[in-house]
Amino acid sequence: MNKEQLKAEIAFTMKRLYDRKLTTATGGNTSARFGNIMLITPSGLDKASLTSDQIAEVDLATGENLTPQFKLSIESSMHRQIYLVNSEVNAVCHSHPTTASLFSALDDEIRTDLIAESWYLLGTVTKVPYALMGTKGLADNVGQYAATTSVMLLENHGALATGKSLLNAFDKLECLEQAAQMTLMIKSKVTPSPLNDERMAEIDKVYKS
């Protein structure tokens, strides 16, 4: 995939996040690694109608904005930090899905053990301690977990997923919101029968090892 194709995929993924109600028109950001360059959605543009020629470029080594016609997302440093600490990450999706974001403000966990898909894709969700959005503090906090986990709740902020591809990262974020919705449902309506230890271990053995 060349750079322009990857930019088009970033724009498509951002629109998909909006269409699936996983973010707002100006909220969230999506990025991908292209060699030594990070391609990322810029600030101030409608995320629902981005095109491939509206994707910013950042030098991963220096953090320099290679496309000065675009204002970088305030979370560019957070995305960049992830790529620097984990060479296996090729894509990052960050957004503010309603239910998952609610759990970022609760002293409670999203249940990922209710169905096999969420356990396989998400495992245990990490909650990253609060830091002001767009700051080095938030980038550093996320960087502490990025080498060992691919799905995070950012305290009082939103959600983030990394992956080997944009589809992989998007899939995790969508699954996280579904798991959050299911968790909220069982707290008020029904008694769940979650995966037992044997079933979770079987998923781990067959699909994760």
Residue 20 confidence (pLDDT):
95
190, pLDDT greater than 80: no
Q: Which residue, chain included where needed, has tokens 């675009």?
A: 70
Average pLDDT over residues 113-133: 95
CA distance 102 to 79: 22
Boundaries of domain holding 196: 3-208
Quote the number of domains for the chain.
1
Sign of the CA dihedral running 158, 161, 167, 172: negative
- Rg (C-alpha) for the chain, rounded Å, is 17
State the DSSP H helix or E strand holding residue 58, giving kind and residue range, or none if neither: strand 56-59
Query: pTM for the complete prediction?
Result: 0.89
pLDDT tier at 109, thresholds 50, 70, 90: very high
158, pLDDT greater than 80: yes
pLDDT tens profile 48-86: 899 999 999 999 999 999 999 999 999 999 999 999 999
CATH code where residue 21 lies: 3.40.225.10
pLDDT tier at 191, thresholds 50, 70, 90: confident
